[in-house]
Copies of this chain bind each other. A is one copy, B any other.
Amino acid sequence: MSLPHAILTALLEKPSSGLELTRRFDKSIGYFWSATHQQIYRELGKLETEGFIRTLPAEQSARGQKKNYEVLPAGRAELARWTAAAQDPKPQRDVLLLRLRAAAVVGTAGLEDDLRRHLELHRRQLAKYQEIERRDFPPDRGAPQDRLRHLVLRAGIDLETFWTQWLARAVAEVAELPTEGRD
């Protein structure tokens, strides 16, 4: 139940329309909470009826007309409440690890290519994060917000670093396994 809170955060950072939000979910926020435009529009509707956000008055609401939303005090309060509330980590689900475990019983045929492809994807993502770090977080330590945002980015960088290293090792191991069908 975190999508509404992701949207509130994004709108507090900057009031936006549904489409602008969608674009922002394709970068920054989307790096750790992705959402499609359909989800976002649906949720904006809910948040509005709940009184957490409202459309900025200047615009009218004909279909196909841009609507800009801003967060109301109740929305900010709800976000603060949610941020402070204890939450259990939700159980992991990782398809790639599952596939490797399956490969241990049905063989690794066909797996290596996809491992390489994933490795490449993670390398790219890592490079993107490092670029953002270089651009937005020079080493001098800024305001508290920046320190927190930098911390989040560091998590992204370290996670991608882990995956590139682990995948490199996985590719190597799979490559030197007896080629086929052993079960």
Chain A residues engaging chain B, CB cutoff 8 angstroms? 2, 5-6, 8-9, 12-13, 29-34, 76, 79-80, 82-87, 89-111, 113-114, 117-118, 121-122, 144-145, 147-149, 151-152, 154-156, 158-159, 162, 165-166, 169-170, 173-174, 177-178, 182-183
Contact = CB atoms under 8 A, between A and B. Distances in A.
Contacts of A105: 9, 12-13, 79, 145
Given A106-B83, A159-B162, A173-B151, A9 B101 contact: yes
B101 A84 contact: no
Given A173-B147, A177-B147, A32 B97 contact: yes
Contact of A98 (B6, B108, B159): B6
B85 A110 contact: yes
A176 to B, nearest CB: 9
A110 B173 CA distance: 45
Contacts of A165: 158
Contact of A32 (B9, B12, B34, B94): B94
A104 B166 contact: no
A29 B101 contact: yes
A144 B76 contact: no
B95 A90 contact: yes
A145 B104 CA distance: 5
Contacts of A100: 148, 151-152
B101 A82 contact: no
Given A92-B34, A145-B183, A101 B152 contact: yes
